[in-house]
Homo-oligomer: A and B are copies of this chain.
Amino acid sequence: MTSVTLAQVAKRAGVSTATVSMVLRNRGRISHETRQRVLHILDEMGYVYNQTAANLRNRTSNQVGLLLHDITNPFYGEMTAGLSHEMERHDLLLFLANSEESGERQQKFVDSLMRNNACGMLLCAARETSPLFFEALKRRNIPTIIVVRPFDDVDFDFVGTDNFLGTQLATQHLLRLGHRHIAFIGGSLGSTSRAQRIGGYTSKLLENNIQPESEWIVTSQASQSEGSRVSEALFRRFPQITAAVCYQDIVALGVMQTLRKAGRTPGKDFALVGFDDITEASLVQPALTTISVAAKEIGRKAGELLYSRIQGNDEPPKRIILPPALVIRESCGDRLR
């Protein structure tokens, strides 16, 4: 390695290490002359700053961790891009870990972050994460932002989207188009996001004096095939359903499949709204009307908030909820327009 140390530079420049350090960090009072000489020698010797030593001394670091459960999901890719951009702006390094929904891996990553003295973290926790995990986190006293997956502990900062509003928009759209028999398809039982989305759906129905039918609300795994399977059973039991709000675009794609098999055409004799606005949404035929959440913006906002926390911002925990938007395509028909 033979790395050049500050002391070596100091010796060569005929000054103390304190002086070199001050030059490097633009602190203290150093004469222009000395400063120039030191800078020159730093360059000449190819000095590389040892952040590790500095961090040890200062008991800080410039490293933050991002824990996701599935980096493969394009939504999180977008979010990570937004976050990464923000981190770079503040000269923070980003650790990435992928829990793959394993609580064990998740815990291991957090422990690792603590050992490495990370100065902050962003968390999209694995499903079924124990509350104890969060309690332990609080005691760690490290700035932590919960992202995307809603979490109702008010002691944490949270950045995500407004699930409730999202499905309200979706449901309202269907109502305006004249639909009265609207189902909700997808999501898994434990999911908080799902609970919120169902809340938006239900509330909008009630606002319009429509009694929600609990049997028209069904779960589905996050895959096209499951969406298809689940909706087939639903439509067979309740043929009067003419529209559906889906928990995710992927599920909506499955529903489309079912409709086609049954000789029905989404956008003509059935209306479908998805959620997420994934790439495929605009590609399928007919293109999927859906709720768009600005993934990149979530990443950016989360990064911004984390940075402010690292800087010492100790206002009460914030909840930054980005508004989703209805993207009208073709899967609901155009009776409205």
For A117, the chain B residues whose CB sits under 8 A away are 50-52
Q: A81 touching B52 by the CB < 8 A rule?
A: no
Given the known inter-chain contacts A59-B1, A279-B280, please indicate yes or no for A105 contacting B88, CB distance below 8 A: yes
Report the contact-size class of chain A (Cβ under 8 Å from the partner): 35 or more
Given A48-B115, A224-B279, CB of A56 within 8 Å of CB of B59: no
Q: Is the CB of B48 within 8 A of A1?
A: no
The CA-CA distance from A76 to B50 in the complex, in Å, is 30
Binary B-proximity of A275-296 (CB < 8 A = 1, otherwise 0): 0001110111100000000000
Scoring A residues 257 to 284 as 1 if CB is less than 8 Å from chain B, else 0, what string do you get? 1001000000000000000001110111
How far is it, in angstroms, between the C-alpha of A61 and the C-alpha of B63 when the chains are bound? 14
Instruction: A278 to B53: give the CA distance in the assembly, Å.
Output: 42
- The reply to whether the CB of A77 lies closer than 8 angstroms to some CB of chain B is yes
Is the C-beta of A74 less than 8 angstroms from some C-beta in chain B?
Answer: yes
What residue in chain B is nearest A260 (Cβ atoms)?
A: B285
Q: Does A133 contact B (CB under 8 A)?
A: no
Q: Which residue of B lies closest to A113 (CB)?
A: B93
Expressed in whole angstroms, the Cα–Cα distance for A109 and B61 within the complex equals 16
Nearest-neighbor residue (CB-CB) of A253 within chain B:
B283
Pair B280/A280 contact, Cβ less than 8 Å: yes
Which of A77, A224, A256 is the most central at the interface, judged by chain B CB atoms within 10 Å of its CB? A77
**Docked-complex contact B48 and A114, CB < 8 angstroms:** yes
Q: Which residues of B contact A85 (CB under 8 A)?
A: 98, 100
Closest to A97 in B: B84
One digit per residue, 1 when the CB lies within 8 angstroms of any chain B CB and 0 when it does not, for chain A 163-201 equals 000000000000000000000000000000000000000
Residues of B within 8 A of A19 (CB): none
Please determine whether A49 and B115 come into contact, CB atoms closer than 8 angstroms.
yes
B94 touches A112 (CB 8 A): no
Asked if A26 is at the interface of the complex by the 8 Å CB criterion, the answer is no
A211 interfacial contact with B, CB 8 Å? no
A interface residues, Cβ below 8 angstroms from B: 1, 3, 48-53, 55-56, 59, 61-63, 66, 70-74, 76-78, 80-81, 84-85, 88, 91, 93-98, 100, 105, 108-109, 112, 114-117, 141, 224, 250, 253, 256-257, 260, 278-280, 282-285
- 10 new A-B pairs (CB below 8 Å) besides A72-B74, A257-B283, A257-B285? A48-B114, A50-B56, A50-B117, A72-B279, A74-B77, A77-B77, A94-B95, A250-B283, A256-B283, A280-B280
